[in-house]
Structure 1
Amino acid sequence: MRFFVVSLLGLAASVSAVGNAVVKNKCTTPFYLWSVGGSIGNRQTVAPGGTYSEALHYDAKSGGIAIKITKTQDGLYSGAPTQVFAYTLDGASVWYDLSTVFGEPFSGSHLTVTSNSCGTIDWPKGTHPGGSQVKVCGSGNNVVFTACA
């Protein structure tokens, strides 16, 4: 019985030790983001020099989270160019990716997604450089999207 309780406590500790999805704005203008899974979160404004962060989490309806970023306040609902920083928490791993829809809002700006010593996504010109962009890291790590890196 004691082994079972200790095992459950160890499992709970490993599950709760997840990193964060972080969005950094090093640009000179604000942008707006929504965390989207099975539902749409509230709009967040990220000022120049500002940061947004959320704990990595699994969405039971969609399987993953897409942090959708636009340069206009109603961009998610108006079809504005949207940067998509997506992740999926899969037990001990987090898979992450970068893509766009309706255009490239950060064209001409350097974009990165980093996570400690794990794979880096690098868009030097703010546009998809080609090839697969999907990376994976341990779920205890932060995954950081930086605009105007």
Structure 2
Amino acid sequence: MRFTIATILALAASVAAVGNAIVKNNSNQTLYVWSVNSTIGPQNIIAPGGTYSEALHRDPKTGGITIKITKVKDGLYTGAPEQIFAYSLDGAQVWYDLSAVFGEPFNGQRVTVTSKNGATIDWPKGTNPGGSQVKVTTSTDDVVFTAYA
């Protein structure tokens, strides 16, 4: 019985030990953020200097999570340019990348995705500089998208 309880507690601790996906708005514009997997989460409004955060998680249907960012209220539903900050939690690792659809909303502004133990994705001009944007880090790290002024 003790072994079972200890095993369950260890498993619970390992499941709980995950990082966060964070959007930091260091720009001078309001950002609109949705967490999307097999469903679309509510619109989150991030004022300049604000942040959005969610615990890294996995969708049982799609696997990955996409955080969609626009500069337009309700932009997800109007065809506004979207910055796509995506991640996929895979056991002890989290894979993350950056892309854009319907245009590049941060054209002319620097955007990055960073983590403590993984490589940085850096778009110094807000546009894809080319090459693979997929990176990986440990699942206990925070993965942080930052939009600059």
Q: Above 0.5 in TM-score?
A: yes
- What is the CA deviation profile of residues 59-93 of structure 1, one whole-angstrom value per residue up to 9, with x for unaligned ones? 11211110000111021011110000001111111
- Give the Cα–Cα distance (whole angstroms) in 1 for the partners of residues 89 and 101 of structure 2: 22
SS at 2:145's partner residue?
A: strand
Stretch moving more, 2-11 or 94-103: 2-11
- Give the Cα–Cα distance (whole angstroms) in 2 for the partners of residues 33 and 102 of structure 1: 16
Q: What TM-score comes out, normalization by structure 2 length?
A: 0.96
- Give the Cα–Cα distance (whole angstroms) in 2 for the partners of residues 45 and 84 of structure 1: 16
Q: Among the aligned pairs, what percent are the same residue?
A: 66
Q: What's the offset of the Cα at 1:31?
A: 1.1
| Aligned equivalent of 2:148 | 148
Does 2:135 correspond to 1:139?
no
2:137 counterpart letter in structure 1? C
Paired residue total: 149
- Superposed, 1:1-149 pairs within 5 Å as 1-148=1-148
Q: What TM-score comes out, normalization by structure 1 length?
A: 0.96
Stretch moving more, 4-13 or 56-65: 4-13
- Give the Cα–Cα distance (whole angstroms) in 2 for the partners of residues 99 and 16 of structure 1: 29
Structure 2: segments with no counterpart, 5+ residues: none
Q: What's the offset of the Cα at 1:122?
A: 0.6
- Give the Cα–Cα distance (whole angstroms) in 1 for the partners of residues 77 and 124 of structure 2: 28
Q: What's the offset of the Cα at 1:4?
A: 3.2
- Give the Cα–Cα distance (whole angstroms) in 1 for the partners of residues 131 and 66 of structure 2: 20
Tell me if the contact between 2:117 and 2:141 (Cα under 8 Å) persists in the aligned partners: no
- Stretches of 4+ moved more than 4 A in 1? none
1:68 counterpart letter in structure 2? K
Tell me if the contact between 2:23 and 2:145 (Cα under 8 Å) persists in the aligned partners: yes
1:112 counterpart letter in structure 2? T
